[in-house]
Chain A
């Protein structure tokens, strides 16, 4: 699991064993780039920048390798991650409530019970997962990423954590021995059932060499049923003494008092005391057996029986020796201590016992599970977390989360890193999750629970979630996604963008949401989905961006002509209405949008031969000041064909004057050197000709205007008044 200190050699290798030096000397080096998508790296051989001279080294294949620090979770692991995140969210709710209701509430019985329940949920979940993976991995070898054994170790760690640190409310101070023994018996089954089955099939089981070790072990583990069963088999043993003693021992084993059978601990203590007295009586009886009758020809049964009685007496040296003989570890000794030697052993006293045992019989440093157990036994939750993190970041994160809720670990942030212990491990887990981009929702949920650093980290992750807006049409997708894409096209938020938007709202990350909307808008501009681009821009309240979208649409007129332009404007026109309603919308950019819409209307009318209205449109765009200066020249050129219309005079005299006035201004300004501002768009529209051609075109307009005025005077002898009357009549 842990990737710490691991070295990976990529395939195919570029350097032969031990020849790194040559590689470098040939002017090459290795460079890498980190992927923002997940915890992966692109690694590639590159030219050394400090090489004598950088020049082509001849044709050869140059690879790029990709490596990841984490394995992307497999399906069942994802399921595990997803399902446990629900428990995490529940605890998160609880601690959030605690913040508003005060710390006292967090320590109340009600809360404690909830935390205990959630802890047990984790325990049960890891158990389920262990069973599931063990079964499936038998069926299909190697399909599961983590072996069943991995989940078993998570299960044992969490279960131990629950026993030691999350007891039932009010039982914090109760003896812990029985609970620990139960944990040991559930997770580390000894002796095996097969052994028992085998022995029970024998007529004279004591003659088998495994008999006594088996009997001793079941006694040590408090497995009274198995113990009494095999003690009963001794009833046909040739030795009178053994028969008698076994018969006496059996009820004693069976009647060892257990805490859960008592109402009060005082009663339990009293019963234990009386029981111990009976054991002592048996010891006296045992000692009275003569040396000659202590051996049955196969085994020194007396020694073995003495061991059993020694265990029941709680003799430290006996328990220790027996455990060593049986190959039991430090856990078994520590737990037996709490059952036999000191039946009233408290949780807070356990670390001392554990440390004594561990001194003689240390935990296995190569076994992380063992290390976590030892740290938990030793009352060192922080240490347990550091081992747990190596075992599985999942374990460290969730245990740390519980520990913080139970005030087992320091809540304050580390001065250097600014992170609390919990946040450190939860963020570590989130980083592990980030290896799988599909898990971004869960990744950010964990991050958002980790203070300012977590929130800002989540922002980064959210912003880097691929929006998949381009998927439409470009890549084949499943039906479901295709539908999503259709929705997207029709203007609804859908798919990833919708999810990210919702997440941003949930955690109040408006800045991030706006950035994402701006990106979406930009993407749609590239796709020429201007209507969508516009609605995303306004959702981001990005008014300059909105202006750029409109510019792009106007650019379409220049590039592709009126037909395309009208079509694109049809896509953005509906937004205008909405934007006018919106109070925050900045005038200037909406203004530009209005121009685009009006200009498209103008072309529409022109196309429909609705010339009178088109002329009216044109003049009013000037009069209303809608047209940007850079477009004046284009509009003027548009007017030319209307001016030249033979059938009727389309412009009123005043309208023609407006045209003239603007024409004069464009030409005058161009003379003054600001031609770029006024002619830019026209030049673009005309193509390669430049300023000269643009001015030439405007001269043409001027000529048309002059002719138009001439026609006005010819037709309307009465001057402009008559003309205006005619115009009104035409309307």
Chain B
């Protein structure tokens, strides 16, 4: 672990997100100071310089695959998602007559390039908490999740202008039933146990939500955005693999579970699998019971704040990492349904299955983000302990800590770059 660089003053207020572009040569940053900045690294010396800087109130941003151009999507508190495109020439007079429908585009001009607002997606009825472009082989598509518990999938209808985005799916994650319940024709394939489990699962979530909302006024010291918004977690992550079709992992509210949702043009979205770390994933009624029982003292439902689907890189299974308010970083090993089961199974839909292969509570406090490297071999997690922790699998496929990064003053500040080890004692 070594420090390789620093932007001393990136913004004038706390940052809300930093996103690398596809190549890692640029950074899009957004902050509470209501500005988006795009930085470019000078590869000769590793310094980051502002390339563009414009006003926009944003919470999270994401880059599209470069085969679609230099495109950013940003999600905001104001319930909107905006699509920005970098145009190369400041001199261009193209006012994008067919673009940005609503009048003149908001241009951010700075230096030789400028970013133009191409579209505003206004369907959300709550803060848009996360945006992620779909893997490029599915075309220019965007997924968003907002605090109204909805995952929305947008499809760009006109790549050349980026102006028209069709809301192709809108899914209420909290109530989306499992495969068996999604449509009438597949009910027959469901096993009775699964059906009941899912039903109860859904109702349990509703109970939890109702509870949350009823407790809203009771919780003191949480003015402003309200308890639900503050305690919940809304996150999405696309399955990077092409083979299985469009699949997205999504979590919402305080359910503590992640749903693996399959999107298909021919039928409505279905939940393939629910990743629920509670002791009895099927026995959700118990969880509801606990919730009710703990009515008196503070209930401990916890939200999953971040989910990350690892690039599968030829592995026969998927890895999905989650980070939650319970302070746990979990890695799920998800096995897709075997094709053979489809043929053999007597009326049984091929099932996806998952188990937890790693569960770390090193952060000892809420985990804010989990993220994989491009080959799905290193997981990073950031928590409220003020540390970023790295995780790697050993040769025996056991996940272990592989270092951590903090911003605490070292006991020995002589040489910040090489100061390692001493502080590791705290581990």
Contact = CB atoms under 8 A, between A and B. Distances in A.
Contacts of A19: 408
Given A17-B411, A62-B11, A464-B374, A10 B368 contact: no
A33 B19 contact: yes
B2 A47 contact: no
Given A33-B18, A34-B380, A414-B397, A53 B375 contact: no
B10 to A, nearest CB: 5
Interface in B370-427: 371-375, 377-378, 380, 382-388, 390, 393, 395-397, 400-411, 413, 416-417, 419-421, 423-424, 426-427
Contacts of B77: 54
B368 A46 contact: yes
B96 to A, nearest CB: 9
Contact of A67 (B3, B33, B129): B3
A266 interface: no
B72 to A, nearest CB: 14
Interface in B1-32: 1-20, 22-25, 27, 29, 31-32
Interface in A1-41: 3-20, 23-24, 27-41
B12 A60 contact: yes
Nearest to B411: A17
A548 interface: yes
Nearest to B8: A63
B230 A527 contact: no
Contact of A52 (B87, B224, B233, B369): B224
A431 B393 CA distance: 13
Contact of A9 (B8, B317, B374, B407): B407
B9 to A, nearest CB: 4
Given A34-B373, A37-B24, A559-B92, A50 B66 contact: no
B386 A30 contact: yes
Nearest to A40: B4
Interface string A234-275: 000000000000000000000000000000000000000000
Interface stretch (B207-215, B256-264, B273-281, B306-314): B306-314
Interface residues of A, number: 113
A19 B312 CA distance: 39
A187 interface: no
Contacts of A35: 20, 24
B218 to A, nearest CB: 15
Contacts of B396: 414, 416
A605 B11 CA distance: 55
B223 interface: yes
Interface stretch (A129-137, A161-169, A331-339, A449-457): A449-457
Contacts of A688: 97
Given A16-B409, A52-B222, A414-B395, A456 B314 contact: yes
B305 A6 contact: no
A731 B19 CA distance: 63
Interface stretch (A278-286, A296-304, A309-317, A417-425): A417-425
B209 to A, nearest CB: 17
Contact of B402 (A4, A10, A48): A4
B15 A6 contact: no
Contact of B314 (A36, A452, A521): A452
Highest count of chain A CB atoms <10 Å: which of B98, B221, B305:
B98
Q: Which 4 A-B pairs have the closest CB atoms?
A: A53-B224, A37-B24, A11-B416, A456-B314
B29 A68 contact: no
Nearest to B409: A13
A342 interface: no
Interface in A434-463: 434, 451-457, 459-461
13 contacts: A5-B401, A6-B421, A13-B416, A29-B383, A34-B378, A61-B12, A66-B5, A69-B378, A453-B314, A453-B315, A460-B311, A464-B24, A551-B160
Contacts of A66: 3-6, 46, 48
A555 B325 CA distance: 50
B247 to A, nearest CB: 18
Contacts of B293: none
A555 B346 CA distance: 56
Interface stretch (A108-116, A218-226, A679-687): A679-687
B3 A31 contact: no
Nearest to B366: A50
B193 to A, nearest CB: 28
B67 A13 contact: no
B94 A64 contact: no
Interface of B: 1-20, 22-25, 27, 29, 31-34, 46, 48, 65-70, 77, 86-89, 92-94, 97-98, 112, 129, 136, 159-160, 221-225, 230-231, 233, 305, 311-317, 325, 357, 365-366, 368-369, 371-375, 377-378, 380, 382-388, 390, 393, 395-397, 400-411, 413, 416-417, 419-421, 423-424, 426-427
Highest count of chain B CB atoms <10 Å: which of A20, A28, A434:
A20
Nearest to B29: A64
A29 B397 CA distance: 31
B4 A8 contact: no
A474 B65 CA distance: 22
Given A41-B388, A548-B159, A464 B22 contact: yes
A15 B387 CA distance: 11
A185 B86 CA distance: 65
A65 interface: yes
Contacts of A680: 98
A104 B377 CA distance: 35
A53 B313 contact: no
Nearest to A686: B97
Given A38-B24, A56-B32, A8 B420 contact: yes
A548 B160 contact: yes
Interface of A: 3-20, 23-24, 27-69, 71-72, 386, 414, 416-418, 421, 424-425, 427, 431, 434, 451-457, 459-461, 464-466, 474, 515, 518-519, 521-523, 525-528, 545, 548, 551-552, 555, 558-560, 680, 683-684, 687-688
B313 to A, nearest CB: 4
A38 B25 CA distance: 10
Contact of A386 (B7, B12, B88, B395): B395
A69 B402 contact: yes
A588 to B, nearest CB: 16
Contact of B4 (A68, A417, A560): A68
Contacts of A454: 314
A17 B1 contact: no
A405 B370 CA distance: 38
Given A36-B374, A47-B14, A683 B25 contact: no
A525 B92 CA distance: 14
A8 B416 CA distance: 8
Contact of A41 (B313, B405, B424): B405
Given A59-B13, A62-B9, A460 B374 contact: yes
A68 B368 contact: no
Contact of A17 (B3, B18, B378, B408): B408
A66 B408 CA distance: 15
A490 B77 CA distance: 47
A32 B371 contact: yes
Given A50-B231, A61-B12, A417 B5 contact: no
A413 to B, nearest CB: 10
Contact of A14 (B69, B94, B404, B407): B407
Nearest to A459: B313
B386 A64 contact: no
A213 to B, nearest CB: 37
B205 to A, nearest CB: 19
A4 B6 contact: no
Contacts of A684: 97-98
Contacts of A31: 15, 17-18, 368-369, 382, 388
A72 B11 CA distance: 28
A15 B402 contact: no
B363 to A, nearest CB: 10
A552 B402 contact: no
B4 A44 contact: no
